[in-house]
């Protein structure tokens, strides 16, 4: 059986350049009338990939390497445009897209240099958002930062911005909102549920104890504080 597959050349003269129909910023490049590779328009300009240009094998290799890096970079930028991400998250997503380790390393280094990846800042902002807007405790936040691959030193620095008084107030607001009705109906039953709920939210035993001490022990009027939740990191 004859193999009719045409082998892409490793160099030659550009005989045709055509824009892709579905990706307007990408072009197909033909060497000696055979499709050789597709490339983003940024690299088209950089390497002056015009019809009639001679591409040597060495340059051909450089173009393909840079194209792969550029593709991975744009993929990472798209991920970062939706929300902040840790370096670990970006590495894992690029790995899922089957980029090579060398490419992933190059891209993450570039993103750090350009300020798009900053695990210290990421940890600080996530901690602030989780503790203030979502009323999550230090234990919850620490576990989430660990899952996102944040280095220990950045986790410790980020958690230092959360003090126990702020945690207690946040936990109290959350408890007031969630258990207001049940507390007015049966304080004893609500007290048992509340302790477990706050622990599951990541609050320490000392914070839970302080909140419980502020809650009414019997039916009666109480100044209940409202709270809201937002999520910018999911």
Name the E strands within 33-123. Answer: 34-40, 54-55
The answer as to whether 230 is a domain residue is no
Q: What is the pLDDT of residues 46-75, one digit of tens each?
A: 999 999 999 999 999 999 999 999 999 999
pLDDT value for 1: 38
| Residues 152 and 168 both lie in one domain | no
pLDDT value for 230: 45
The answer as to whether 193 is a domain residue is yes
CB 12 within 8 A of CB 57: no
pLDDT value for 8: 58
Split into its structural domains, the chain has a count of 4
Closest CA to 168 of 198, 126, 123, 130: 198
| Residues 41 and 28 both lie in one domain | yes
pLDDT value for 216: 72
The average confidence (pLDDT) of the chain is: 87
Residue ending a domain, choose from 94, 127, 159: 159
pLDDT value for 159: 95
pLDDT value for 227: 41
Domain range holding 27?
7-55
In the block, tokens 């910018």 appear at: 232
The answer as to whether 221 is a domain residue is no
DSSP 208-220: HHHHHHHS-SSSS
The answer as to whether 72 is a domain residue is yes
- Ramachandran region of residue 29, left (φ > 0), alpha (ψ -120 to 50) or beta? beta
CB 212 within 8 A of CB 194: yes
| Residues 70 and 103 both lie in one domain | yes
The answer as to whether 26 is a domain residue is yes
Taking the C-alpha atoms of residue 158 and residue 28, their distance in angstroms, rounded to an integer, is 47
Taking the C-alpha atoms of residue 222 and residue 234, their distance in angstroms, rounded to an integer, is 34
| Residues 91 and 47 both lie in one domain | no
Q: What is the pLDDT of residues 13-52, one digit of tens each?
A: 999 999 999 888 999 999 999 999 999 999 999 999 999 9
Q: What is the pLDDT of residues 74-115, one digit of tens each?
A: 999 999 999 999 999 999 999 999 999 999 999 999 999 999
Per the confidence metrics, is the pTM higher than 0.95? no
| Residues 113 and 140 both lie in one domain | no
| Residues 29 and 80 both lie in one domain | no
The answer as to whether 231 is a domain residue is no
Residue 154, pLDDT above cutoff 80: yes
What are the beta bridge partners of residue 10?
none
Mean pLDDT computed over 169-193: 80
């Amino acid at each position: 059986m004859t193999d009719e597959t045409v082998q892409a050349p490793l160099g030659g003269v550009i005989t045709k350049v055509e824009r892709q129909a579905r990706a307007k910023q990408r072009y197909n490049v033909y060497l000696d009338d055979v499709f050789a590779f597709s490339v983003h328009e940024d690299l088209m300009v950089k390497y002056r990939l015009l019809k009639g240009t001679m591409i040597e094998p060495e340059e051909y290799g450089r173009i393909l390497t840079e194209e792969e890096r550029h593709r991975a970079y744009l993929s990472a930028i798209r991920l970062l445009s939706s929300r902040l991400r840790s370096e670990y998250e970006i590495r894992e997503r690029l790995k899922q897209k089957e980029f090579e380790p060398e490419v992933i390393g190059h891209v993450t280094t570039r993103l750090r240099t350009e300020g798009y990846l900053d695990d210290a800042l990421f940890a600080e902002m996530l901690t602030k958002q989780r503790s203030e807007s979502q009323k999550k405790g230090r234990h919850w936040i620490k576990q989430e930062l660990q899952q996102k691959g944040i280095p220990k030193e950045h986790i410790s620095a980020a958690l230092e911005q959360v003090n126990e008084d702020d945690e207690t107030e946040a936990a109290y607001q959350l408890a007031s909102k969630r258990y207001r009705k049940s507390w007015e109906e049966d304080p004893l039953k609500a007290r048992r549920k509340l302790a477990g709920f706050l622990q599951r939210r990541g609050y320490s035993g000392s914070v839970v104890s302080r909140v419980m001490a502020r809650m009414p022990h019997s039916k009666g009027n109480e100044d209940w504080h409202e709270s809201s939740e937002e999520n910018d990191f999911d």
